[in-house]
Amino acid sequence: MDKNGVPNSIYVTCVAIYDDETILVADNHFDKTKNNILNGSKGSVLFITNERKSYQIKGNIEYHKSGSLFDDMKKWNPKKLSGNAVAAIKAEEIYSGSQKL
C-alpha cells in the first residue's frame, strides 16, 4: 500500500524460494512497488502450482540492493534484465485456497 493506503498489484515472473520462509522477487522494473516497500507496506504472493493447487503467502517485505539475498537473485534472474534489487517476502501467513495452513 502507498502512503494513502492504496494497494498496488503487479505481475512478476522472476521469483524464487530462498528458504522455508522467504520468497525473493527480482526488482527489474519496480516503481510504485518499490516506493510501497520502502514505505513499510506488507505484501502477498499468489500462485498456482503445476498440480493446479492455489496458494497465497502474506508477510513483511524487505528491499535489498546488496548482500546475500541480492547475490542469490543475481544467480537466477535473467542476465538481460536489470536486477536492480530484490524484494524478500517473509511468510507470516500461508493459505491453500481459503484454508489457512
Considering the domain boundaries, does residue 48 fall inside one?
A: yes
Is 21 part of any domain? Answer: yes
| Residue 80 within a domain | yes
pTM of the model: 0.87
- Count Cβ atoms within 10 A of the Cβ of residue 50 and give its class: 0-12 exposed, 13-18 middle, 19 or more buried: exposed
Tell me how many domains the chain contains: 1
Q: What is the pLDDT of residues 50-99, one digit of tens each?
A: 999 999 999 999 999 999 999 999 999 999 999 999 999 999 999 998 89
Q: What is the pLDDT of residue 1?
A: 66
Q: Domain of 65: which CATH number?
A: 2.30.110.10
Query: Is 59 a member of any domain?
Result: yes
Could you tell me which residue, 12 or 3, shows the higher pLDDT? 12
What percent of the chain is predicted at pLDDT more than 90? Answer: 67
DSSP string, 66-82: SSHHHHHHHHHS-TTS-
Chain mean pLDDT for the chain: 91
